[in-house]
Amino acid sequence: MHLIVGLGNPEKKYETTFHNMGFLAVGEAADKLGVKFKKKECEASVAEANIGGEKVILARPVTYMNASGRAVKQLLAKYKATPAELLVIYDDFDLPKGKLRIRAFGSAGTHNGMRSIIGEIGTSAFPRIRIGIRDDEVDIPIINYVLAQIRKEDYPLFADACSAAADAAIAFARGEDIERVMSAFNRN
């Protein structure tokens, strides 16, 4: 059993914002696995896949970013999954745009969605994939930046990053050790 959660904001107006990198990446993973987000449960939109006989749940919380932890906690309980079986994909302003960083555990950093998850499930010991969004040429407050629309010229860069994040998530769901996934997919 694996639970892959992509963080974002549920409204259409946020669909192509930096803060929705997690939604975009988990959507890419669903496409690659040939599944659709058909169910709503545990305050999340959910797609179910099967990899090598193992259930894989892909989820996008329908709460806003700052309350993502509620959905994650409910999903872990419903599917009787452990934090080690959880993988969270999200945007990270602390990384340059397009950079992928996978970790087996860690702090929330500046990310309120991750802060919510850690607070709700009581541990930071779960794998995560961070997709860098910082653009050093843009000088606006973080809150305005993360909710800004991705510039058209940056679409290919972020599409590539989300595709790589999806591949890494699928490798993790196939049972690859997180250290191997980190080695294969972390990039500058």
The pair phi, psi for residue 122, each rounded to 5°, is 75, 20
| Catalytic residue from among 6, 17, 19, 99 | 19
Between CA 77 and CA 178 the distance in angstroms is 22
Between CA 11 and CA 38 the distance in angstroms is 17
Query: Tokens representing 63?
Result: 């709460």
All residues at 6 or more sequence positions from 59 whose CB lies less than 8 Å from its CB, including other chains: 3, 4, 5, 6, 26, 42, 44, 45, 46, 47, 71, 72, 75
To the query of whether residue 111 is one of the catalytic residues in this protein, the response is: no
Q: Which residues are registered as beta bridge partners of 3?
A: 57, 86
* Active-site residue set: 19
